[in-house]
Structure 1
Amino acid sequence: MRLIVLLSFLVSFSGTLETNANEDDINWQEAKQFWAFVSPSKVDPSRVDDRGWSRGDIDLFVLSEMKKNGLEPEDDASSEVLIRRIFYDLIGLPPSSDEVKRFKEDADEKKYERLIDSLLERPEYGEKMASTWLNIARYAEDQAHQVGNNVKFFYPHAHRYREWVIKSYNSDLPYDQFIRLQLAADKIEGTVNEDLVALGFLGLGPQYYDRGRLEVKAEEWEDSVDVVSRGFLALTVACARCHDHKYDPISAADYHALAGVFASTQIHKRELDNEDGAKTVIHVVKDGKAQDLPIYNRGDVQDKGEVVPRAFLKILSGEDPKKFTKGSGRLELAEAISDPQNPLTARVAVNRIWQMLFGRGLVYTTSNFGHLGTRPTHPELLDHLAISFIDEGWSVKSLIKKILLSSTYRQSSLVSSDKRIKDEENKFYSYFKRRRLSAEMIRDSMLAVSGQLERGDSGKESDLISNQKNLRRTVYGRISRKELDHYLALFDYPDANIHSSSRDETVTPSQKLYFLNSSFVLARSSAVALDSVTEDRASSVEKIYRRILSRPPSMEELSNAIKFIESGKEKEKERWAGLAQNLLISNEFIFRD
């Protein structure tokens, strides 16, 4: 049994040491005054002396906080830096040297906005966005456990959900509809068959053997409550399974009211015969028999308390939350979460987008807006973005474009040592923070600059490491709960057993060894060299630099590269590949400014 299962057991066991609190002990009036439960309010940004720096309201909110803390913003980054930054943030791939050249030479002041618009319409945009959402949805194609050859709980058609997510981002599906389809596509009138796979958000979660036992079902209900509440609301509702939440106004009754929705939902398995005689299993999410759950005191399914009607969280409802009465209640839950009056949903969504673009959210704890989470560094800006997000039809593309057009986003990452000391964590966004590329971006970028990246429709997933012929984007690689791909694990891809809202950025000797010895990296290096080298060494060096780093070499770099090629005991072809490898594993390639 994997660690996650053991931890779940330990949490349940520790709950037996606690006294189950009564939700009447919660002061609901006082609880509703906490910032996250107060509806966003529209505030005009403070007018400050910006010397022409601000390009919009976002900048005015940010600059106001800078000024309060004795900080000044940085100038715009160079054209070469900005185009690379935007390419990675929108499509997860580097620009070609020709694209950099055209952007740099374009004198039209609208070129920046045109670039954003063009990248938002490329199919690679959806692939990039899906990489983030699939972690939130704890996407995987198998389970953490397997008995013998029994794979009945594996998901051979999981890729259909992944493709739906990609398509949804590319079509700019309104975020409120994005929520509703993933929770209740089968209950929404007029839903087309292609959108039914959105239910994979619920259906692809961890499942355990001996599923008929109530104890096992309770574990699966907890997973659903957790991924829905943290993913859409940034609340840790699952912490109230055994007793009232220790820090937030979420009672055990709240937890069981939501768990009842998923107890009334079935993951139906159906075997299909393939043409080759083999069998495959498809998983279908549908309503089962509607049932309200009793409160299982201290998490013990044998110790039943009062029955709790299915309903939404009391803190986000009125004094008497409306009961869910339509089937399982999934549609009513989806409507409650996506309601524009819900104070959390839009805030959580825009905060995740801000995190994606700046490295962390305006609320650092992107999946915990409760009392143990951090307070927003710029609460008025967060509310401003949330309100405009709703007013503009929950359009993710419009939100991203608004942020990218700001001076805050365009700032240089080159700052003085004094400022780094004064704003070490970049809490006030007084410069742009340099970040390492994600595991997907590193691999995809190496394939792209080598000219070997296979684009287009995905098809089924494929192993990344064992299948050396897999040259597709990493988002189409197989994600395993049982044994995560070695490369992904090495570069901080999160555990697919649970919801994950952020990535670590570790620096380990194993990563450097991978760059030096990996057959994948060596093959990409050889491909770049083979496609760039001519009889003119200086020209060949310049081609390799432009191809990998999107810029020409300096005179010193050119001289050193030629000396490297002309020296050494290896064959010249190997030295050219070595030069390409040195650039592929350089910080300039692996990081984006």
Structure 2
Amino acid sequence: MSKLLFSHSRFSVWIPLSLCLLFAVATSAARAETDSAQAEFFEKSIRPLLLKHCAECHGDKKQEMGLRFDNGSFIKGNEDYPEMVVTETPDDSRLMQVIIYSDSDIQMPPAGKMSDEEIGLIRHWIANGAYWPETEMQSGPKLGGPYDFAKLREEHWAYRPVDNPAPPEVAHAERVKTSVDNFVIKKLEDEGLMLSPAADKRTLIRRLKFDLLGLPPTYEEVQAFEQNESPEAYAELVEEYLAAPGYGQRWGRHWLDVARYADTKGYVFTAEPRYGFSYTYRDYVIEAFNSDKPYDQFLIEQLAADALELEEPKKELAAMGFLTLGRRFRNNKHDIIDDRIDVVTRGLMGMTVGCARCHDHKYDPIPTEDYYSLYGVFDSCHEPDEPDLPVIGEPLDQVAHEQYKTELARLADELHKFEQEEVRKLEHEVRHHVVAYLLKNITGGADVPAEYASAYEKHEPRGSLINRWNDYLKKQDPSHPIWEAWMTLSKLKPEELQQKSADEIKQLLQAGSSNPVITASLSNRNITSMYDVALAYGEVFRQTEASWREQQDKSTGLADASRESLRQELYGAGTPFDLNYDQWKGEFDRAVRNQQRNHISKQDKLRATSPGAPPRAMVLLDNAKPTEPVVFVRGVAGRRGDQVPRQFFKILEGEDRQPFSQGSGRLELAKKIASADNPLTARVFVNRVWMLHFGNGIVRTPSDFGARSDPPTHPELLDHLAAQFVANGWSVKNLHRLIVNSATYRQSGEPNAEARAIDPENRLLWRMPRRRLEFEAMRDAMLAAADKLDSKHGGTGVDLETSNRRTVYGFVNRNNFPTLFRVFDVASPDVSTPKRPQTTVPQQAL
């Protein structure tokens, strides 16, 4: 009895100890992921703000008030300002008080208040703990270079060329199923450990089907597999699942995390918030995985399909949604380009290039010049308007397509009539208010005195038309009948004008060379300044425009020759108002543009929501002339530094790198990334696939292979997988075969106290790690178990609350991302997410 009690007591003690250990490990991992996210937010959003607004007076050379904002020492405050940052109540922070200008004595920055968005970022940063790298809390950071590129290529594992080590010999050769096992078993044997026994068939089929298809096996499938005694039964199951359509839906969803996929743009003011054809990218990705498109080609198409020779209907163009489906950042071009640089470099190569936007990367060999080389690539491109996006297939519903065409034609006609009417009104309005442009000519574009500006109080002069009038008047011959009086009087000094204007006008009348309507108008007005001359001219042009509008027969000019010559100044070729239709539309004021935008939004919404809209590709196209980029000093676009060429990274390309020469350089960039010689691309991808099978990557920082990355637990295995991946034609399915057929993958997940004591985090893979089911697989599994899962493929996004389709086809709304998604750690569509965070909350066990 005492022995049983003792045994029970040990068991009772072991449970809480085990739970504590598991909690500690989980907490440590979660903290690492949280710190990584905070570090990224800090480097991309907070440090640039502080450098931009604060470092000049609170930096390494000058510390007003005893505070430095180029390192974290200010967070703790000083004797005079002890509560600079209060994380519990951010608005009590002294920092917040001075930047929101609530203190009338101290307002920072003194040159002008930060924008509401910038203040919001600072508040968010403080509320989330005011993260600052620990190494910089006392002294200013060493912001990057100079870098010893050659030394770093030799020393840092990720920059070395991919090796292809031979699988090592192992004592337990009978356990080896694929070459993966040689590397894993060798590490285990070195520590006196071994793989766990193989999992039972029921566990294996469930593991495999969830991993490859994201669905549970049916009862019949389990029974058939358990009863199949063939040694090839498991391998045949692998092939069956890799060939199933659900494979692309499962692994396509993983890729969409990296691509920060969404069906909406984020906040875009009054514009249509939906992407009309985002679904074509999602469907392209799913099809690419199902067809086992070579990964290098997959990457090239996502960056530069528009530069490839494609067969009609050029469906591969949809791949470019990888670049174009990011957030719109209130249409801030610099942030949009930064987002594209991030998804390309961090998503595809594990390089945190975004950290070099404001300064040289502090940890990795990425000078800020390299960031702006890529900035130049993407700044040399543009997105066509939605009506001009290339059609890449037939409509999904022909009946709906006919209805769509009819409605689209009606909306287009409605827009055209609106624009025609507004152009007509604008043409009359500006010709009615020539006086405004003549007055602006006198002031050089500056404000006109109020007593004269009242002459055009209902009209807002257009800047481009002011310039056209200025250029026009500069080119006039002094003897021009209409402008002779203007030229003559404008030559008089202001103090002479009142005394001499009458005589000058009298001489013009006597000479008879000037337009009599103009001279008569000037004669009847007391001229004290050129403003009065402008009023006289303006009144003549106003009357002329009114006469022309009243005349029914427009086939001939005005009957009065003097008036007709004035009309020609309003309508003739080469005159300031000689604009084509599109130019007139470009002169619409804000109110009219808003109405125009509403009309356009109706068409955009129809394209985005109608099942009859033909599928289009959301492409990016090269500009006619590429940008020659310059460095933005401290990331501020207005502070332009040295010019840099558009080229690849020095750490990867070496000293002999050459600038891109083909258009924007996107295709050249894509080929550099997708090259077998690139040491990062294959490593990053095989590591990500490994992570999705085992819960953690061989490198546990899948989006960062730089100096702050975790070193690989099995570096030889990582290189072996990468080399085999490339050698097998960049085949993703072959990579799966190599992994899931291994004994390492097929082993049991049962605990082992002795092994845990040696390797508590299971980094050596002595058992199969337990993994949490993602939200998509959980939802799809419940529908499949209830026999309610809709197996339809492709098409526009659906409402998951009312649809039984697979979760990958759900409409993803950045502006209203469901709380349920956040609770279950669905990847945020705002940023590339190679690895989803894992939050430990009780609800997730339900």
TM superposition score normalised by structure 1: 0.81
2:745 maps to amino acid: Y
1:279 corresponding residue in structure 2:
603
Alpha-carbon displacement from aligned partner over 1:113-140 (angstroms, at most 9, x marks no partner): 1000011000000000011000100000
Superposed CA deviations along residues 163-186 of structure 1, whole A, max 9, x for unmatched, are 000000000000000000000000
Quote the Cα distance in structure 1 between the aligned partners of 2:835 and 2:258. Answer: 9
CA distance in 1, matches of 2:734, 2:42: 43
- 8 Å CA contact 1:20, 1:298 repeated in 2: no
Equivalent in 58, 62, 79 of residue 201 of structure 2: 79
Which residue of structure 2 lines up, in the alignment, with residue 27 of structure 1?
148
1:177 aligned partner, one-letter code:
Q
- Which residue matches 1:535? none
Asked whether the equivalents of residues 242 and 299 of structure 1 are also in contact (C-alpha less than 8 Å), the reply is yes
> Which whole-Å deviations, capped at 9, do the CAs of 1:439-495 have from their partners, x for residues lacking one?
000000000010000002232111223x3xx00000000112212123222211021
Aligned partners of 2:168 and 2:183 also within 8 Å: yes
| Partner in structure 2 of residue 294 of structure 1 | 630
Aligned to 2:382, the other structure's residue is in SS state strand
Q: Is the 8 A contact 2:43 2:355 kept in 1?
A: no
Shift of 1:271: 4.0
**CA 1:173/1:159 → structure 2, altered by over 3 Å: closer, same or farther?**
same
What is the identity percentage for the equivalent residue pairs of Structure 1 and Structure 2? 38
Shift of 1:153: 4.8
Deviation at 1:14, TM superposition (A): 3.2
Q: What secondary structure sits across from 2:730 in the alignment?
A: coil
Distance in 2 between residues matched to 1:6 and 1:238, nearest whole Å: 11
Matched, 1:144 2:480: no
CA distance in 2 between counterparts of 1:353 and 1:101 reads 29
Q: Which shifted more, 500-509 or 265-274?
A: 265-274
Query: Is the 2:306–2:619 Cα contact (8 Å) retained in structure 1?
Result: no
CA distance in 1, matches of 2:215, 2:197: 25
2:806 aligned with 1:473: yes
Match of 1:434 among 766, 770, 778: 770
Deviation at 1:99, TM superposition (A): 0.4
1:303 corresponds to which letter in structure 2? R
Q: Aligned partners of 2:184 and 2:842: how far apart in 1?
A: 38
1:367–1:501 contact (8 Å) kept in structure 2: yes
SS at match of 1:456: coil
Q: Which moved more, 1:376-385 or 1:261-270?
A: 261-270
The more displaced of 269-278 and 401-410 is 269-278
Q: Post-superposition shift, 1:420?
A: 2.9
What is the SS of the residue equivalent to 1:25?
Answer: coil
Say which SS state the counterpart of residue 188 (structure 2) adopts.
helix
- Greater mean alpha carbon deviation, residues 415-424 or residues 242-251: 415-424
Residue equivalent to 1:494: 827
Query: Which residue matches 2:13?
Result: none
Structure 1 stretch displaced more, 443-452 or 135-144: 135-144
1:33-112 equivalent positions in 2, closer than 5 A: 33=154, 34-50=156-172, 52-112=174-234
Q: CA deviation at 1:511?
A: 4.3
Closer, same or farther in 2 for the Cα pair 1:151/1:94, shift >3 Å? farther
Whole-Å Cα distance in 2 between the matches of residues 258 and 14 of structure 1? 24
Deviations 1:417-441 (A, max 9, x none): 3323432221001100111110000
Matches within 5 A, 1:190-205: 190=310, 192=312, 193-205=314-326
The yes-or-no answer on 1:256 pairing with 2:372 is: yes
Matched, 1:117 2:453: no
For residue 399 of structure 1, the aligned residue among 735, 749, 758 is 735
- Distance in 1, Cα, partners of 2:143 & 2:828: 34
- Would the aligned equivalents of 2:268 and 2:328 in 1 still touch at CA under 8 Å? no
Distance in 2 (alpha carbons) for counterparts of 1:471 and 1:454 = 5
Native 8 Å contact 2:193 2:766 kept in 1? yes
Offset of 1:231 from its aligned partner? 1.0
Q: 1:178 aligns with which of 274, 281, 298?
A: 298
Correspondent of 2:836 among 503, 508, 532: 503
* Partners of 2:842 and 2:746 in 1: CA distance: 33
Query: Relative to structure 1, is the Cα distance of residues 341 and 383 closer, same or farther in structure 2, using a 3 angstrom cutoff?
Result: same
Following superposition, the deviation at residue 12 of structure 1 comes to 2.0
Question: Is the helix fraction higher in 1 or 2?
Answer: 2
Aligned to 1:459: 795
Distance in 1 of aligned mates of 2:774 and 2:144: 43
How far apart in 1 are the matches of 2:360 and 2:804? Answer: 49
Q: Is the 8 A contact 2:143 2:361 kept in 1?
A: no
Cα distance in 2 between the residues matched to 1:27 and 1:83: 50
TM-score (norm 2): 0.57
Q: Relative to structure 2, which stretch is displaced further, 51-60 or 218-227?
A: 51-60
Q: Which residues in structure 2 correspond to 1:220-259 (within 5 Å)?
A: 220-259=336-375
- Verify the 8 A CA contact 2:180 2:739 in the aligned structure 1: yes
Query: Does the residue aligned with 2:329 lie in a helix, a strand or coil?
Result: coil
Aligned-partner residue type, residue 178 of structure 1: F
The amino acid across from 1:145 in the alignment is: Y
Q: Are residue 348 (structure 1) and residue 684 (structure 2) matched?
A: yes
| Distance in 1 (alpha carbons) for counterparts of 2:148 and 2:841 | 48
Shift of 1:208: 3.0
Q: Which residue number in structure 2 is paired with residue 380 of structure 1? A: 716
Residue 23 of structure 1 and its aligned partner are, at CA, apart by 7.9
Task: Name the CA shift for 1:509/1:82 in 2 (closer, same or farther; >3 Å).
Answer: closer
* Alpha-carbon shift at residue 390 of structure 1 (Å): 0.6
> Does residue 14 in structure 1 map to residue 65 in structure 2?
no
2:357–2:635 contact (8 Å) kept in structure 1: yes
Q: Cα distance, 1:276 vs. partner?
A: 3.2
**What is the CA–CA distance in structure 1 between the aligned matches of 2:808 and 2:261, rounded to whole Å?**
11
The answer to whether residue 750 in structure 2 is matched with residue 414 in structure 1 is yes
Q: Which secondary structure does the structure 2 equivalent of 1:295 belong to?
A: strand
In 2, the alpha carbon distance for the partners of 1:107 and 1:5 equals 54
Kept after mapping to 2: 8 A contact 1:135/1:499: yes
Instruction: Output aligned runs, 1:292-331, within 5 Å.
Output: 292-331=628-667
Q: Deviations over 1:503-526 (max 9, x none)?
A: 2232324446xxxxxxxxxxxxxx
The offset of 1:13, in angstroms, is 1.2
The residue type paired with residue 225 of structure 2 is: F
Query: The residue matched to 1:432 in structure 2 has which SS?
Result: coil
- DSSP 3-state at the match of 1:446: helix
Cα separation, partners in 2 of 1:5 and 1:319, compared to 1, 3 Å: closer
Deviates more, 1:81-90 or 1:283-292: 283-292
Mapped contact 2:683–2:718 kept (Cα < 8 A): yes
One-letter amino acid of the counterpart of residue 449, structure 1 = A
Q: Which moved more, 1:500-509 or 1:428-437?
A: 500-509
Instruction: State the Cα distance separating 1:274 from its structure 2 match.
Output: 5.0
Unmatched 5+ stretches in structure 2: 1-37, 56-69, 71-139, 389-403, 409-601, 608-615
RMSD: 2.1
Q: Distance in 1 between matches of 2:145 and 2:758?
A: 46
Unaligned runs of 5+ in 1: 513-584, 586-593
How far has the Cα of 1:284 moved from its partner? Answer: 3.5
Distance 1:402 1:200, change over 3 A: same
Larger C-alpha radius of gyration, 1 or 2?
2
1:306 aligned counterpart, secondary structure: strand
In 1, the alpha carbon distance for the partners of 2:257 and 2:301 equals 18
* Partner SS, residue 320 of structure 1: coil
**Partner amino acid, structure 2, of 1:462:** V
